[in-house]
């Protein structure tokens, strides 16, 4: 029992004051004895959906014999993500709670007083909407403040319900992330006794809350996967269009209280499921590099040399993707109630064209994305074969579907198509008409045989029928 603990403390302090020549006035200003005050403490924070109040999800280990902390670190709990605020879900919050214990035999009840939580960085405590939040615990009596709740086995301690609070991005605050370190968010809590002058205080070591950038994935797709290795001499020689597709990892959020606009959010992957990839990312720059060949330009805007501008040939090219920000790259945290934040659909795909540079082999293309606002990155890789000489497709006895090459001029007749055939006896050439869903004859080897059409152009699906084993030139 703590019977008379305060009386004993005051008596001890009074005796010390008399030895120093003090008086009753000095005795009133004496600091309460240590046994009345917390001697251990820990701040516990996390992104939790199962227990928003933090009663069970946030805990630390204690000695079952003494009830005192055995570690100053937070125990990992399934379903509780590390304390992190996400710019992707700026209205999300982190749940924090404080545990303070004393060493008088009943450690989880401490002397009455008040707590003050303080946060640093671009954040606020939602209970006060400022960077400080104070609350009372207990009265002037001994053991009147619940410093923590033990579980049944008394091996863990969690914050008491009244000693929890929430940390969120400050409404309307902005902070730059490009070229600077991600802002550091810290949380500290100080206990102040309800008696004594000056009152005794105890401050728990501060903990950090992380700021998570969006998680992006980048995938590269070449079309086609094989191109001529020689440097093009005309615009008809095809290149490979390298398309970078951007995705962001989805999140899941729940309200702290049903119907509340205050959310606790976490990555889907953190909560036990696979990441859900959603198309799109913030606007940013994608830089392409290749080990062979050169880039001739992007699909929408030239980003490298043209076919004839060989002197400007480049194996590295950067292309902006998405709407260019009208202001300096910052994160603007919305005011509560306005669920607007970082736009993650501004950049979906961007492409460049790879052409031969003279050397044959396998080109390794790497694309690296950097977001305009957050500086978050993603990287992807693919390969393209650069072959010496013409690129061909095999022809075997029967009808073979092929795509006419870009080098075939528009309005070419059947003879021009046959000029692309080697080692194969062509008897007829057909084109399928998508509008009428019928095959139309372009060429017959029999003289005078009637045809349905007289010409065909590049990049058209045709059927070459005949006998033998030969090839058809694709590029």
155-164 burial, b if ≥16 CB within 10 A, otherwise e?
ebbbbbeebb
Q: How far apart are CA 158 and CA 151, in angstroms?
A: 8
pLDDT digits (tens, 9 = 90+) for 269-325: 333 344 567 888 888 899 999 999 888 765 433 333 344 334 445 788 888 898 765
By C-alpha distance, which of 164, 158, 162 is closest to 101? 158
**Domains of the chain, each with CATH number or no CATH:** 5-212 (no CATH), 216-387 (2.60.40.10), 392-473 (no CATH)
pLDDT in tens, the chain (475 residues): 343 444 333 333 333 332 223 322 233 333 444 567 899 999 999 876 545 444 567 889 999 888 899 988 888 876 676 788 877 777 778 889 999 999 888 899 999 999 999 999 888 999 999 999 999 999 988 889 999 999 867 789 999 989 999 998 887 666 555 434 467 799 999 999 998 878 899 999 999 998 877 788 899 999 888 888 887 665 556 678 899 999 887 754 444 444 444 444 444 333 334 456 788 888 889 999 999 988 876 543 333 334 433 444 578 888 889 876 555 445 555 444 333 456 788 899 999 888 888 788 999 999 999 887 777 889 999 999 998 877 888 999 999 999 998 888 999 999 999 999 999 999 999 999 988 999 999 999 998 899 999 999 998 999 999 999 999 988 7
3-state secondary structure 175-206: ECCCCCCCCCEEEEEEEEECCCCCCCEEEEEE
**Cβ–Cβ contacts within 10 Å for residue 436, how many?**
8
pLDDT at 28: 30
């Amino acid at each position: 029992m703590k019977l008379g603990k305060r009386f004993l403390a005051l008596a001890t302090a009074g005796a010390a004051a008399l030895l120093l020549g003090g008086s009753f006035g000095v005795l009133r200003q004496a600091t309460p004895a240590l046994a009345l005050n917390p001697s251990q403490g820990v701040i516990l924070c996390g992104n939790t959906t199962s227990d928003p109040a933090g009663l069970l999800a946030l805990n630390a280990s204690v000695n079952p014999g003494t009830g005192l902390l055995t570690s100053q670190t937070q125990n990992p709990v399934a379903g509780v993500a590390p304390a992190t605020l996400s710019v992707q879900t700026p209205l999300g919050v982190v749940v924090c709670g404080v545990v303070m214990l004393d060493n008088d035999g009943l450690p989880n009840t401490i002397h009455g007083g008040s707590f003050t939580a303080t946060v640093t960085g671009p954040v606020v405590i939602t209970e006060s909407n400022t960077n400080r939040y104070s609350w009372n615990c207990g009265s002037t009596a001994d053991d009147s403040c619940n410093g923590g709740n033990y579980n049944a086995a008394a091996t863990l301690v969690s914050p008491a319900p009244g000693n929890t609070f929430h940390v969120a991005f400050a409404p309307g605050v902005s902070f730059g992330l490009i070229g600077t370190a991600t802002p550091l968010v810290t949380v500290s809590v100080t206990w102040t006794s309800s008696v004594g002058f000056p009152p005794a205080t105890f401050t728990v070591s501060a903990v950090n809350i992380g700021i998570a950038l969006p998680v992006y994935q980048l995938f590269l797709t070449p079309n086609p996967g094989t191109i001529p290795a020689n440097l093009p001499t005309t615009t008809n020689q095809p290149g490979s269009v390298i398309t970078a597709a951007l995705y962001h990892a989805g999140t899941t959020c729940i309200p702290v209280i049903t119907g509340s606009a205050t959310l606790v959010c976490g990555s889907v992957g953190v909560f036990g499921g696979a990441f859900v990839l959603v198309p799109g990312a913030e606007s940013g720059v994608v830089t392409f590099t290749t080990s062979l060949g050169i880039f001739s330009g992007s699909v929408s805007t030239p980003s490298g040399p043209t076919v004839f501008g060989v002197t400007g040939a480049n194996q590295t090219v950067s292309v902006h993707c998405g709407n260019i920000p009208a202001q300096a790259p910052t994160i603007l945290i919305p005011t509560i109630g306005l669920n607007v934040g970082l736009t993650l659909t501004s950049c979906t795909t961007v492409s460049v064209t790879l052409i031969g540079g003279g050397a044959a082999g396998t080109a390794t293309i790497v694309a690296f994305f950097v977001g305009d606002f957050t500086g978050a990155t993603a990287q992807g890789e693919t390969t393209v074969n650069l072959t010496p000489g013409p690129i061909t497709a095999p022809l075997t006895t029967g009808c073979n579907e092929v795509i006419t090459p870009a080098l075939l001029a528009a309005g070419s007749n059947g003879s021009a198509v046959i000029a692309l055939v080697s080692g194969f006896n062509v008897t007829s050439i057909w084109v399928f008409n998508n509008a009428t869903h019928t095959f139309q004859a372009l060429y017959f080897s029999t003289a005078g045989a009637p045809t349905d059409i007289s010409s065909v152009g590049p990049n058209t699906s045709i059927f070459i029928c005949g006998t033998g084993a030969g090839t058809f030139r694709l590029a």
